[in-house]
Structure 1
Amino acid sequence: MNLFATLNEVLNSDVLSRIAAYVDEPTEKTNKAVNGLVYTIIGGLMKRTTTEIGVNQLFNHIQKGRYEGTLTDNLATTLRDPNQTNTLITQGDEVISHLLPAMKSSIGSMISSYAGIRNSSAISLLGLTSTIVLNVLGKQVKSQKLDADGLASTLFAEREAFVNAVPDELMPRLIEKVGLHQIVNGVATPARRSAVESPGRSVASTSGSSVRSTATVTRPSVSYDPVDDSDSDNGALTKWGVGALLAVALAVGGYFVYQNTINHSGVAQDSSDLATVTGDTIQADTVTRSLAVPVEPKPQTATAAPTAVSTAAPVSTTGLSGNLSQLMTPYLGNAMLPKGRVFPLTGVAFIPGSLSLTAGSQATINELATLLKSYPQLQIQLVGYANDAQAGVTNKSLSFKRVNQIKQQLMASGISFVRIDAIGRGTGVAKNDTSRIPKPTMRKINVKVVAK
């Protein structure tokens, strides 16, 4: 059963008109907001079920909240009563607070801007839509007799439909606000719970009609009877031996702490974390920064001019002969230079209004892939700009799709997605810019070095 098709049936015109009347917003804008929230909630739940805790929490909320789908059978009737509608909103607020913690305000702000409604209306619709989505999922759990793992798998089966269904205008915002980079790129998978059962009991998990193979888990018997070894020579020797080893370990640990303090007492802080080639500095606030980026060693204060620079030796520099390599290789090979520098991908261009690369662009992409392979610690952020979007597509959406296409090619060449971030900045001119200073819109792609 297609989850989005089911939700479209549930959220029919009669239901949407009643929801619009409750929040006192135009029906067209309410429809756009509810659809955006459906994608947001499902995407957020997909991300949540990439962890074992998230899988359990989602399943437990559906079970304890008795989300069995009965609400969706009489939703239009239920929404006639403002008190019942308010109850559904309150239930959804609680769900969001537990399943997508600390995200209610940011989601409400995103949907308010996306659909052109009041922020208070967006928050109310978030709670109501969350309750409806959980009832639809709960109905699937009940009808297909799904366990927690089966629910997570069923949810992830909608990933392709989700990517295709999200409007171009919403997708970049959704990825940035909810953190769906791994979901959209198809690299995330649902977590599997680790089951521990009683002695001799067979562990079996059912997902829909399919049953995974069973395994028997037997716990070893544990004795809690006290053992008196005070009269045993072996016991006494063991105690003395453990004590001696502990003393040695403490001494060694103290020595290393002392040495580390001496070695790092003269470390100077970097004067700046950002330096650019083109003068463009862009804030890194998405997947590469959110993951565990290794901290770059800071240079020690020198009393005299250094005679040699310590650099991390690349694996291989074969094929690094293009313009991009000529710019980046000296910088990447010098550990004294701070991370954060921005380089233009001048060799990469797209046919106006499309996602088709121009002739010669592939060579620069291949060159970038070679650099990433040559410097295994290198992590980058691709930042795209566009000013040539055609009707029906925004410049921000077009810029994101273009850099994401480059990211996909780099991943296909063997580069881990963790090392590549991709964001679209549209024209590069902020809508709330009141400086009245003319700023040319941009059509380009930059590479920012996040870690080296």
Structure 2
Amino acid sequence: MSLNVIDLIKGQLGPALVSQAASQFGESESGISKAIGGLLPAVIGGLANNSDNPGVLDAITNASSSGILGNLMGGASSNPVISTLLTSIFGDKISGIVNAIATYAGISNNSSSSLLNLVTGATVGSIGKYATDNNLGASGISSLLGEQKGIVSSLLPAGLSLASLNLGSWFGGNSSTADATPKEEPKIEVTRSTTSAGTNPERNNNEGGGSIWKWLLPLLLLIAAGYFLWKQCEKKQTTTTTTSTDSTAAKMDTAATMTPADTSASTTTVKTDENIDLNGVMLKGYKGGMEDQMITFLKSGNYKNAADDAALKDKWYDFDHVNFKIGSSTELEAGSQGQLDNLVAILKAFPDAKIKIGGYTDKTGNEASNVKLSKARAEFIKAAVAKAGVGAQVLEAEGYGSKFATVDAKASDAERAADRKMAVRFAK
């Protein structure tokens, strides 16, 4: 098993959560993102340093069923399990970590403390879910955590080190120093030759015997010492350069994960809500989005003219705004309800139209769990629409898991987001 657990967790701490945390804590999004980027390696390091701790392993094992991933903002900060876990892995170092992150990110200590709980909840929950999906027992979790020890220092962003977080004694000491162990410089000893009684020093010098070593030996020793020190300096410089380069690369990767601007939508197409005409009633939606396409199709008469369901099954309309909270099938992200209301309005305007709801996931995780989650989400949308009085027009809700996913499981979270969606199609 060779897995960087950052890849498991970063999807939980994306732009939506950063924005929500910034609003709730009264901080800037850049400050929240920066703090998360510093806290995540620290928390992973704490867990890695306690990979054999039974309490830590139990907390991770039970996290999958605790529901913490579905309520990070509301649950992690007040969860006693998280508080106990932090005390277990950091002890009296917690206040030092909170202070260091607050100073580094330019946020308050209260916000830093809340984010420490939040990041810990996301980390433990994500590892717990991975362990459940892959049938890992305590020994498997311990092994996974132990593998992280070698990469913790490289994950810290520029401006932070294990020493600045008061964790300098972990994983081989201060990660910010390329060579913390002082080298012992060679000692040069010059031994004065002694002469026997009655020996003429001047004669010995003139004869060129052993006296030549009086100046040649020290010279050779000085040359050897100089070469040794030069090689050590060269080695230290190379090590420092390599460490700096690796740390910069890790920082860039972490920043790419945590920065709110790093989303596929913001870097490719910027969509703006417009008025979509529904028989004189204006709905808010994207031009060319779900509502626009569905209304156009219905007005064209193509639905009415479709002979059977086979003529409709290949055309799905992806929801633009409907998103569930991470790991949940019953809690929608803010802003999702408006598009469900639009769908109800369309069905009421075309009472003969019937639909089917579909749920999808990406290729990561256990497929049985993916199918179950996608099915539950589709059923939730079906029930929500039915409550609005158009239940008879929703024929079916189905979960497909990753069956139709097209993005490789090893791709970035932003790329895999295209496969995690809810959709609707017309049916007969």
TM-score by length of 1: 0.38
Structure with higher RCO (Cα < 8 A, 6+ apart): 2
Question: Greater helix share, 1 or 2?
Answer: 2
TM-score by length of 2: 0.40
- Structure 1 or 2, whichever has the larger Rg, is 2
